[in-house]
Structures are given as structure tokens and as C-alpha cells.
Structure 1
Amino acid sequence: MSDQQKHDWPRVRLHVVTGKGGTGKSTVAAALALALATHGRNVLLCEVEGRQGIARMFDVDPLPYEERRIATGLRDPEGTPGVVHALHIDPESALMEYLAMYYKLGRAGRALDRFGVIEFATTIAPGVRDVLLTGKVFEAVQRNSRNKKAIRYDAVVLDAPPTGRIAQFLGVNSELAGLARMGPVKNQADTVMTLFRSPRTAVHLVTVLEEMPVQETVDGIGELRPAQLPVGGVVVNLVRPRDLDAAALEEARSGGLDRGRIQDDLKEAGVEDGPDLVAGLVTEAADHAERRALEDAQREIVDGLGVPTYELPRLAGGIDLGGLYELAQALRDQGLA
């Protein structure tokens, strides 16, 4: 079987990862980058929110506006691992690079920066910040002769803004093209949107099995599709292991657990049976079963979205670099990468 046949998104060059805050979207983006960096591939992991989350996850120094090698990709028995580079994109540096690359304003651009013109433009002008951020992502995916020394990447993973504003963030160039009407600004904006709306892009949404994140995922897909932005998969993160079957969960939820049997099991294990211990355990079991029922209801909603879904476990030891590789392997095993 060829490498492309193993994966759900063989044509995608730009993987956009979004999700409600607290769902672990940055962790998923990092794991996806590691999973894609196999068979000698070069992968770029970008962040645009100014939090230096990549540096913290990979335990490296804060990233400048410069592509840095940060990790070796996931090892694969069938081939050599690739390399993950990272880029922390800030709009001011992106504008400076744009002026130098397209208008040859190297020294003049630095003068503008000293006078505060660039900060004013990216802070005050509506949409300028997102235009610059998305423009740099586009440049990383579609490298051209103007950036001769730059690495050409096999895939780019974007740790994007939250689901609540992802359609607006990715669609800002469409609005700009409508305002510009003609000329180089419109042409550039149209070109960016051509990539973002093409089969070479996929927007993956990260959620957990809770009501608000799942609803935001539903709403996000509902905004992406009318904007002609390609929906990728849904990654259900922080999934807990299922230790009890459906019958046991229902028994716990309904309060039908055999307390005498619990007492016997405690004694057999050498645990002293205090007056409140069994009652506390029964209450905890009922709470656990109730949470499971709520999770199952949210899982049904996710399954009904009509897009590929993937699951990542809640890691007992938390997320370190080893944990990222573990999650990367899980994504690869399920076909996301």
C-alpha cells in the first residue's frame, strides 16, 4: 500500500487546526506536525496568536520571526523521519518582510517601524493584522522565487485562532478583495483565498466531549461551509478510557450497585470499611456514569456531523515531548496524517 493510500488527506498541504479554548488545539497541531514529518518530509508548524505555545510544548527558547528546526518527526519503520520546523508569526514582522520582498523597502521599512507606522497599521486598521498573518501562512505554503533561500515544505500546520473566529480569520482576504476591487492588493487577496478554498487546505476542528465545545464545533462547521472553506476532520481530544461496560454504567447511574458486594471486595483488598466509604464510592460511581452518559450524547452529535473523526486519549502524565509523539502516532494510526 502506498503512503498516500494510508491517509485521509493526501492532497492537503495546509492543515489548519482550530478549536474552542481549553480543548487542546495547540497540542493537536503540534502532534499533527510530528505525525506528518515522516518519510523525510519537511513540515512547518506555525502559530499566530502570540502566546509562544510552540516553544513551551517543545521546551525550546521563545521563537523569533524565523523558521527554526525544533524536532525530528515521528519515526516510521518504512522510512526515515522528517523534520519539524516552527515559526512564530507576528504581524509587524510579516509586514516588514512583505515590504522588503515585494516593494524593496528594506531600509525605508525599518524607518517606518521606528516612526510607529507599522504598529499603527496593524493595531488600528480593521483586518490588517489577519491579512498579514494569513499572508505569511500563504507564503510558507506557496513559496516562490522572491524568497529564494527559504525551505520548501511538504506540509504546513497552522495553530489557528479559536473556532469562534476561524471563518472570519481565514476569510479576511475575501473581504479585502471585495474592498480593493482591482490592482495588486486585490490580486494578492484573491490568490490567498484560492489556496484557502482549495483541496490543498483542510480546517480540522478540535473538541472535547462537553456541550459547549461540541456546539462551537457544530457552529464552526456551519460557518466554514458557506464561506467555501474546506472542512477537514474533527479531533475529539482528552478521551478517557472506558473501564465499565454499558450495563455496569447503567447500574451505577440508577443506584443499583450491590453495596454488600462492594464491602466484600474492600475487605478482600485489605481496605477498612468506614461508615461512609461505601456510600461515597456509590455516589462517585453514579457521578461517573452520569458524565459518561453526557459524553455519549455529545459523541452522537459529533458522529452526526458527516466528517471524519479522530480520537486522542487523555494522557495520565500530562503533555510533554514524549506525550506529543504518542499523540502523533495515534493520529497517524487513525489516518489523519
Structure 2
Amino acid sequence: MSTPTIRDTTRDWPKVELHVVTGKGGTGKSTVAAALALSLASRGKEVLLCEVEGRQGIAQMFDVSPLPYEERRIAAGLPDEDGNRGNVHALHIDAESALLEYLAMYYKLGRAGKALDRFGVIDFATTIAPGVRDVLLTGKVFEAARDGRKKGTSSKGGQHYDAIVLDAPPTGRIAQFLNVNGELAGLAKAGPIKKQADTVMTLFRSPRTAIHLVTVLEEMPVQETADGIAELHAAQLPVGGVIVNLVRPRDLNADQLKAVREGTVDRQGLADDLTGVGLEVDDALIDGLLEEGRHHAERRQLEDRQRALIEEMGVPTLELPRLPSGVDMGGLYELAGTLREQGMA
């Protein structure tokens, strides 16, 4: 078997139209997807942010009502250098609604399709055939990405988007989710659903797509990221970048961290510095600060090891800080600005 050609998207992210964001649970995948959408909108682009996991995570992050199965404007980007700003629209995609739309478009089953839904046939079909479910979910993303949008669907009568951000399933399932042709191999060898899968794969494997993996500087997420990159490469799907999220401040240099770890910090010098800013200092305070510092230094050492492993993956890397006050709309805009500064948008 020949080795698939891997496309390096380092230089053409601004030209990418579909950004797929995945990551291990707990790494902030959905937050990064939302920040990326805002970052693109801050370049004056009209952006569609899609979710497929049924959690209404977009509505919660942007503090809006639960999203229906239709596109809805939820936020504006920050103004760019020329004062222009784009908008973020959102779409909550569920397989049942996508199948009803599919039946109406290709088989003209309007009311009949809704009757099937009432009898639970649609839920049954998408449950026993997860490959079909993924084709329906990804097919809706493809519909949003193509030119000449059809009227009469949830597509807002032909709304054009400059970029689409997909908050995708976790890293452990991303290659399977996107490689819909492989999933359908034993289910459908011909017919409309197979044709749709083939069409979707032309987008996913094209220069128009980049798949970004979100991780944190911990052993299991980093290993899962490495495994995910290998699986995407094997499926000939284009890897974009690794986004390291929740990065702690790096205020201490290597020598200072070493001194804290080894217990060679100048206690009297530390006490004098604290006294100089008006604090009352005793041994208990110094002991507590040094203990906290030791934990921080040890944590930084572990994180640096994981950072080195990420660098060995040979994939462009970006970093997002841990926000002290958590992620609200202000925090999303801050993260969006950080992504823009690093060339993501």
C-alpha cells in the first residue's frame, strides 16, 4: 500500500473554507471552534458555525436560545483594520431532521417522511446504520459549503458563507466520522446515499478543508492527538494544526523554575520583595508560597515534555491561554484575537 500524500496547510489556512475542529473530551474543543468562528468573522468573513453532537453547546456559549434546525445569526466579529466585520451564524445539525430533509429533496416524501418520523422509523434507521447517520450530518455541512445553495431548505434561501467551522466529534471518532465512504462500504454500494457520500469526500479531501486537533498539555490528550493525526493521514484527510488549549502563564524562566523545584530560592530575598510591596511576611507565608511554586514548577516541567512531543508530530502548533475568569463572550473574543494573531484566520 502506497503512503498517502499529506498536504501541509501551514501557508493556506486563510484560503481554507471548511475548518473541522476535533479534540479529546475536556480539552475545550467546542470553545476553540467558537473562538475560531469569531476570529474568521473578525476578518470580515461571513461564517457558519456548525455542531453535530446534539448538546446545544453553541447556544450555551453564545448565551442564546437553543438552536433550531436552521441557520441563525448569533454574533458579529470584531472590526478589522478597515473597520469591516463579518458575522457568525450557527446551525445545530441533527440526523433525524437531516434525513427528513433528505427524503423531501430526493424522494419527494414530504408528509410521508414526517409520518415515518412519528412512527420512529427515522430514529431506527439512523441508529442501526451509524454510517448513514454520519453521511446525513456531513452532507448538511457539504450543502452549506457549496455554491448555489438551494431555496426551500434550511439554507436561508441561498446564504453564502466565506468559511464554515464544524465542531466535530472527539478525536477518537473523527477519522471514522469524516471518512463516510469507508463507513458506507458494507451498507450502500450504489444509489443516492452512496453518491452523496462520494460527493462529501471530494470536499473533505480537498485543499478547501483543514482538520484541526485541540489538546491540552497532558499525557492522554497528547497521545490521542498523535493517534488522531496518524488516522487522518491514513484516511488521506488533510490535517491543519494542533491547537494547545488552556496553557498556563509562563512568567518564570528556566533558571527560576529549577531553583523552585530544587528548593534553592533565596528566602530572605523573597521576604524582602514581599515586604517592599507592603505585605506582612512570616515563615508560614514563605513556606506556603514556595510549596505552591514547587507544584507549579513541576507542572511546567511535565507540560514542557508534552509540548516537545507535540513538536515532534510535525504539525503547525498554536497555543491558547487559560483564562483566569473562565470563558464568557469576552473570553471568546479574547481567544479569537489570539488565534488571529497566530495566523489562524
Equivalence for 2:194: 186
Note the 1:247-326 alignment, pairs <5 A: 247-326=255-334
Note the 1:74-113 alignment, pairs <5 A: 74-113=78-117
Equivalence for 2:51: 47
Note the 1:89-238 alignment, pairs <5 A: 89-144=93-148, 146-147=150-151, 149-177=157-185, 179-238=187-246
Q: CA RMSD, aligned part only?
A: 1.8
- 2:23 pairs with 1:19: yes
Structure 2: gaps of 5 or more residues: 1-9
Contact 1:174/1:189 (<8 A) preserved: no
Please state how far the C-alpha of 1:265 moved relative to its aligned partner. 3.1
Q: Distance in 2 between matches of 1:258 and 1:118?
A: 69
Please state how far the C-alpha of 1:191 moved relative to its aligned partner. 0.9
Write the letter of the residue equivalent to 2:173. Answer: R
Q: Distance in 1 between matches of 2:98 and 2:310?
A: 37
Please state how far the C-alpha of 1:287 moved relative to its aligned partner. 1.2
Please state how far the C-alpha of 1:212 moved relative to its aligned partner. 1.3
Please state how far the C-alpha of 1:128 moved relative to its aligned partner. 2.5
Contact 1:39/1:80 (<8 A) preserved: yes
Write the letter of the residue equivalent to 2:137. Answer: L
Which digits, 9 at most, give the CA deviation of each residue in 1:109-151, with x for residues without a partner? 1111111111111222232322211111111112545446131
Write the letter of the residue equivalent to 1:257. Answer: V
Q: Distance in 1 between matches of 2:46 and 2:147?
A: 14
Of 61, 64, 80, 2:65 maps to 61
Structure 1: gaps of 5 or more residues: 1-5
Write the letter of the residue equivalent to 1:157. Answer: V
Contact 1:38/1:79 (<8 A) preserved: no
Contact 1:7/1:335 (<8 A) preserved: no
Write the letter of the residue equivalent to 2:127. Answer: T
Write the letter of the residue equivalent to 2:58. Answer: I
Contact 1:101/1:146 (<8 A) preserved: no
Q: Please identify, of 207-216 and 140-149, the stretch whose mean Cα deviation from structure 2 is larger.
A: 140-149
TM-score (norm 1): 0.93
Which digits, 9 at most, give the CA deviation of each residue in 1:159-187, with x for residues without a partner? 01111111111113333156422333322
Q: Distance in 1 between matches of 2:228 and 2:34?
A: 21
Equivalence for 1:335: 343
Contact 2:77/2:85 (<8 A) preserved: yes
Q: Distance in 2 between matches of 1:143 and 1:121?
A: 30
Q: Distance in 2 between matches of 1:89 and 1:159?
A: 11
Change (3 A) 1:123 1:180: closer
Q: Please identify, of 219-228 and 30-39, the stretch whose mean Cα deviation from structure 2 is larger.
A: 30-39
Q: Please identify, of 185-194 and 197-206, the stretch whose mean Cα deviation from structure 2 is larger.
A: 185-194
Change (3 A) 1:256 1:60: same
Write the letter of the residue equivalent to 1:330. Answer: T
Please state how far the C-alpha of 1:275 moved relative to its aligned partner. 4.2
Write the letter of the residue equivalent to 1:332. Answer: R
Please state how far the C-alpha of 1:153 moved relative to its aligned partner. 1.2
Equivalence for 1:3: none
Q: Distance in 1 between matches of 2:221 and 2:106?
A: 41
Q: Distance in 2 between matches of 1:181 and 1:289?
A: 56
Please state how far the C-alpha of 1:274 moved relative to its aligned partner. 3.9
Write the letter of the residue equivalent to 2:57. Answer: G
Please state how far the C-alpha of 1:11 moved relative to its aligned partner. 2.9
What's the secondary structure of 2:68's corresponding residue?
coil
